[in-house]
Structure 1
């Protein structure tokens, strides 16, 4: 794939062009269709390989649900190529190439050379504007069109498996499951080891979830996660009680999230991390207050909504770290994952605010630029970050998605 050889992430229009070429080359087996439009009028495309056979097994793969996690589109194309060669007539694979093209337009980092490059054009929409998360936050009559398209696809296909392709800026790889897929830990761990990708053993997104193997986490009945006030059981991951695998892969790897050694003082560490995050958030919030609310530019308005959402989330996060439910025992990997999660929250808010003040020529821009630069450098240095090539990210996600389907087949046999 040319885009992977160029070591960059494809934009939504490039994904659509590549998918169209694949459909034109294999018209009897591969098809591309538009299934809706985004709030901004951008097309939402689904690439399908096979399907609607006598056995009626369908798999839905969702890419680009989070604008700042661009690897999924490239993985979707690679998976489409692999399953088209397999020619399993009884299984249809359907790829939503980019669930949030509006967000992808605002997050422009096709070839980040560093964490600072990545954050220079960072954008992650607030929860109510994220296609997968919106149903867990908003009433049905206020859902964005992207969420309605996604739930409509699930209603239409009734997939035996949904695979949601995600990524993290810095850390390791892990998989969240709506129900256990016995046997997945072995091929997942083998792939990560072969590709030198650390396994995130204590992912903060899945704090308190059952873990049948390193890096594999099964959603509890409540659906609660430490980093979210919403119930994940109301997200599109669980629509129609679908079996869903959320596959995370890092852009930059850190072995600190793969260390199973017991941490000597997790509660003390979490108090320290909460204090740091509270202080960092206060610095960003002070700058945000000076900008006010009037903002005619749509891009700037979207960025500010995301900043405000992130700043409101932070007190909920720190309360969980310092409250009675804070763990008395934890591994070094778990504390490392929480450390990384906190750093990225304040950094993301600052980075998105910087985009606004820089565009406005605001006098706060130079100081905020220095702050973002320093936080990126500290984040990278603390975790000894090393870049994971795009092709390697895609390979690991592809292997894991296919392994999840094989485990599902085995369990249903």
Structure 2
């Protein structure tokens, strides 16, 4: 489970500094500008290369706990700046971090193990994620990061938007808002060359049309969803904004730790029984976190995290939220997902459910309570709460069980970046051919 810790994901400041150097070296070609601000006033920085009207927009850092997007964006920017063929008739635009506030709270940039990764873990609640917020909130309640991203898409009108994501443990896959013919084969070839398993049945795209191993196309609006407890409207997310201008979005996932269990397309011998076990374990582990949370003695500054911002502003006696309060809010949001998903997984699985399908849901079921517990643990430790010791034991055990059950092996950072970059370039090439043909 361990690896060389000199490999690290760059902080947002490092990304911006490298982008500034690139822009200074080639000012006739590259431009770095501020395109918005976070809730706390951190700048959202866009690096643009080339001047063509036809555009590709690459978004990094939409999820704070998935830091691979930043180095991939920078790697791509350097390649595009060095190779005029990549920018012939196309300009490239790199949003270096879509959620800098979240990135400041996720501090696992040299994870030596899955436990070390969760010791410093943060992933915002769904309504606070810039890409996902529009799918669950009305326009007047969107966080400024989401508004800035929507405004940027309206400005650039990209024929392709690529969102760079990562998973803690599993394989690689792609989600598309519209099919890209020709993408599946080079995607699979790249993964094989870099010894990254293709996750052929990810729960993130359960029931979606498939155009090749690990390449999933989002179903049409109104299609029945496999997990009814997750009612968000993906067509309102930032991923679909490019469709207003004839464009589309590709989401590219790559793992930090790989598991060959997610690339097993054989039929599962008892998917129903396995998912019932996953459901029971999910309820049990979530209840253990709930019990710790119920005993926690957190102060008013943490409790203020749960107030509507407008209500908090109107309450002159309210304390300002603790800096780590977003972790508590995210932990509560993750726990609230558990009852519905546990019920979903008790339903009969799809016919022919594969081992990969079950493994992906198994991993999802392990992540929810583990992440909720890890974020709560950080807040309890900061508050000096004695309940932290009990929760620490749970987090340690769950990380060990997760890594052992899935035979986790570290994917070298350069392989994560190279595979993601190759997939972006292939998607841009094939999407452009498809757009020109249309």
If the length of structure 1 is used for normalisation, what is the TM-score?
A: 0.95
CA contact 1:266–1:330 (8 Å) conserved in 2: yes
Match of 2:325? 301
Secondary structure of 2:269 counterpart? coil
| CA deviation profile, 1:27-85 (whole Å, cap 9, x unmatched) | 0001100111100111110000003x2xx210000000000000000000001011112
Match of 1:14 in 2: 14
Report what 1:27 is aligned to.
27
Name the CA distance, whole Å, in 2 between partners of 1:295 and 1:332: 46
Aligned to 1:147: 146
**Which of residues 260, 267, 286 is equivalent to 2:265?**
260
> 2: distance between equivalents of 1:295 and 1:271?
39
Q: Is the 8 A contact 1:64 1:165 kept in 2?
A: yes
Of the three residues 279, 285, 288, the one matched with 2:284 is 279
Alignment pair present for 1:345 and 2:350: no
Number of corresponding residues: 406
Secondary structure of the corresponding residue to residue 345 of structure 2: helix
SS in 2 for 1:298: coil
Question: Offset of 1:239 from its aligned partner?
Answer: 1.0
- Contact preservation (8 Å) 2:159, 2:432: no
Quote the offset at 1:370 in angstroms. Answer: 0.9
Contact persistence 2:242–2:249 (CA under 8 A): no
Matched with 1:401 is 424
Query: Hey, what's the Cα distance between the residues in 1 that align with 2:293 and 2:389?
Result: 15
Query: Which range is displaced more, 6-15 or 103-112?
Result: 6-15
Contact kept in structure 1, 2:60 and 2:69, CA below 8 Å: yes
Which residue of structure 2 lines up, in the alignment, with residue 331 of structure 1? Answer: 354
**Pairwise CA distance, 1:291:** 2.8
Show the counterpart of 1:315: 339
The corresponding residue for 2:389 is: 366
- Kept in 2, the 8 Å contact 1:267–1:328? The answer is no
Which aligned segments of 4 or more residues in structure 1 are displaced greater than 6 angstroms? none
| TM-score (structure 2 length as normaliser) | 0.90
Distance 2:199 2:220 in 1: 22
User: Partner of 1:108 in structure 2?
Assistant: 107
Q: Distance in 2 between matches of 1:161 and 1:246?
A: 11
- Counterparts of 1:111-130 in structure 2, within 5 Å, are 111-130=110-129
Structure-1 separation of matches of 2:401 and 2:11:
29
The SS at the match of 1:132 is coil
Structure 2 unaligned blocks of 5 or more: 302-320
1:240 deviation in Å? Answer: 4.0
Deviation of 1:6 after TM superposition, in Å, equals 4.1
2:176 alignment counterpart: 177
Q: 2-side partners of 1:376 and 1:26: how far apart? A: 45
RMSD: 1.6
